[in-house]
Amino acid sequence: MIFRLLRITLPVVLCWLASASAQAQTQTNQNQPLSGLTRFFEQFGHDLKKGARALGDDVDQLITGSTTQTVTVPGDYKPGSIIIRTSERKLYFVQTEGRAIRYGIGVGREGFQWGGVSSVSRKKEWPDWRPPKEMIERELTQNGRVIPEFMPGGPDNPLGARALYLGSTLYRIHGTNQSHTIGGAVSSGCIRMRNSDVIDLYKRVAVGAKVYVYH
């Protein structure tokens, strides 16, 4: 359905969108979330198939607009910090003067939830995935699901388009190839984001940034 819609509607206005998007990119305030069209063209240019495959269900969101918002956050957090509130299913990237960009997230399921303070130890575009042996065994035993020991980065990888690694743990803030799970509690502890959102966050966050995880 997504590909059919893209084939029918987008080519008709593609030239106009490209021009408008290019102008929007030069005018976009770095402190504001990117608009849907601007974000799509910035990430994929005019390669609609690549964009659709990489972002999956996010294509509709990119075309209609982003769900991110700039909001006020209480507390004395340093600009550049990340606040995660798992019960809200929200992640906040702190800017200046108590303002933050808010993103929707997916969180750990029951028994895999956690909280505390960490920091971004490294960043990776289109990360590889090496699931721990415990996860491989658990998925096989409980769900009959076979997980490979290694999966290269790419659109089919569960870690999605970007990953922010937290300290020396196995936890990450990462994208997903299952954007319909955003808003749910389904992971093994990692924080999931839509690929379009994690790409936006990735550009803003520096290695060493503090990450505060609350319930």
Supply the residues annotated as catalytic: 174, 190
Q: Are strands 185-187 and 191-192 parallel, antiparallel or unpaired?
A: unpaired
DSSP 182: T
Please, are residues 81 and 208 in contact by the beta-carbon 8 Å criterion? no
Please give the structure tokens belonging to residue 16: 């106009």
Q: Which two tokens stand for residue 211?
A: 């990450």
Token pair listed for 203: 């550009």
Partners of 86 in the β-ladder? none
**Distance separating alpha carbons of residues 173 and 165, to the nearest angstrom:** 7
The β-bridge relationship of strands 185-187 and 116-125 is unpaired
